[in-house]
Chain A
């Protein structure tokens, strides 16, 4: 157990809808990163939050957005869902310390878009 939790575990949405995924960081971690993992692929970096501000973004469109709260928990929001958004969404927490790079992953949220 990494101490990182995600909710919900599974979710089914219809194309065009909006979805919010949630992540609670491990205690003492102030940085949260979100990844998308399509079936059979490695995780792809979506964005990272540090102290409630976006701190780097991968190659994802603006309809992917996020928030980080004062307690360092985080949300991932996806608008106008497309079929290709079906994937496992992983969040990972870490310390913002250049000497400490280990990231602790949650169990993921499986999103299915129909």
Chain B
């Protein structure tokens, strides 16, 4: 099964700065999703981008998808201490909604 691979694995930034995370995958997908996880708890869905979309915004989040490079990026603008969490990308294949997750990015926002 394919998996997203995030890069970088850990990121430490000052409050107010932007945080960018990247994700790559291996095969054709139906959609790509980003999730946040606080302290080993449940995952919270952030944003979904479909394979025919190139960019999507949700509040302070901006996601891009480049299907030719099989990669996606998540940008968090004007970061806050509450954004401190692990961020995962997950891909979904056509025909099913099982998710293949990457290893995650740990983001620490310093107040």
Contact = CB atoms under 8 A, between A and B. Distances in A.
B40 interface: yes
A56 B1 CA distance: 12
A4 B41 CA distance: 13
Interface of B: 1, 3-4, 30-31, 33, 35, 40-45, 48, 88, 90, 92, 95-104
A48 B98 contact: yes
A29 to B, nearest CB: 11
Nearest to B101: A42
Interface of A: 2, 4, 31, 33, 35, 39-45, 48, 55-56, 58-59, 88, 90, 92, 94, 96, 98, 101-108, 110
A42 B102 CA distance: 6
Contacts of A104: 45
A81 B45 CA distance: 31
A33 B33 CA distance: 16
Contact of B45 (A40, A59, A103): A103
A35 B35 CA distance: 14
B42 A2 contact: yes
6 contacts: A41-B103, A43-B43, A102-B33, A102-B45, A107-B41, A108-B40
Contacts of A41: 103-104
Given A42-B101, A43-B88, A88-B40, A98 B95 contact: yes
A29 B25 CA distance: 28
Given A58-B98, A96-B97, A105-B35, 17 more contacts: A35-B101, A39-B40, A41-B104, A42-B4, A42-B90, A42-B101, A44-B101, A45-B98, A48-B97, A58-B1, A90-B43, A98-B95, A98-B97, A102-B33, A103-B33, A103-B45, A105-B44
